[in-house]
């Protein structure tokens, strides 16, 4: 009886390597745009949270100091200022647009305006809208209570 030949499976065939590399390339190609999109959404969320914190800080400043406090925003420069402090760049994704809706008395220039908080916590009210890739996030300030909240429709 002839001896049986044993086949050793010591490695991968060329076809198996090509299939594995192709699958890895497809997964990577699909994941890269998703990661970029997720980063843009995270930047937009960060910008919205940053506005909420800045507005709440301005309201707190007005209540603790007993005097009016002003939050100013330049939508083209993407710069805001809290109650007479220094200018701060707003962290928003490239391509995002900002819109500021505020009282006419608080319009500073064509691209800049303010929301004023009073010592009792109330405000002139307003809305800041951040739009990016068709997704809109709003930060609303109630004029009566001065309450600040983020709204994502």
DSSP string, 30-99: HHHHHHHHHHHHHHHHHHHHHHHHHHHHHHHHHHHHTS-EEEEEETTTTEEEETT--EEE----TT-EEE
Residue 5 lies in a domain: no
Count of domains forming the chain: 1
Q: What is the mean pLDDT of residues 2-26?
A: 75
* 68, part of any domain: yes
pLDDT single digits (tens) 143-153: 999 999 999 76
Answer whether residue 99 is part of any domain. Answer: yes
Whether 90 is covered by a domain: the verdict is yes
Asked if residue 123 belongs to a domain, the reply is yes
pLDDT in tens, 18-44: 888 888 888 877 766 655 566 666 666
Q: Give a yes or no: residue 75 inside a domain.
A: yes
Q: Give the residue from 92, 94, 85 showing the smallest Cα distance to 129.
A: 92
88-138 pLDDT, tens digit per residue, is 998 888 888 999 999 999 999 999 999 999 999 999 999 999 998 888 999
Edge-first strand order for the sheet with 79-82 is: 87-89, 79-82, 69-74, 112-117
Query: What's the CATH code of the domain at 83?
Result: 3.55.40.10
* Listed residue (131, 149, 123) closest to 61, CA to CA: 123
Q: Is there a domain that residue 1 lies in? A: no
More confident residue, 57 or 12: 57
Domain-embedded: residue 6: no
pTM of the entire structure?
0.75
Domain enclosing residue 36, as ranges: 14-151
């Amino acid at each position: 009886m002839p001896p049986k030949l044993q086949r050793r499976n010591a490695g991968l065939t060329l076809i198996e390597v090509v299939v594995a590399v192709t699958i890895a390339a497809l997964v990577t190609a699909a994941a890269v745009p998703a990661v970029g999109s997720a980063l843009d959404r995270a930047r937009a969320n960060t910008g919205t949270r940053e506005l909420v914190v800045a507005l709440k800080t301005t309201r707190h400043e007005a209540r603790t100091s007993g005097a009016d406090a002003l939050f100013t925003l330049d939508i083209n420069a993407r710069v805001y200022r809290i109650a007479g402090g220094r200018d701060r760049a707003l962290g928003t994704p490239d391509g995002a647009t900002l819109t500021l809706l505020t009282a006419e008395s608080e319009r500073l220039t064509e691209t800049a305006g303010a929301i004023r908080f009073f010592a009792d916590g109330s405000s002139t009210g307003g809305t800041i809208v951040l739009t990016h890739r068709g997704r809109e996030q709003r930060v609303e300030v109630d004029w009566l209570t001065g309450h600040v909240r983020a709204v994502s429709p």
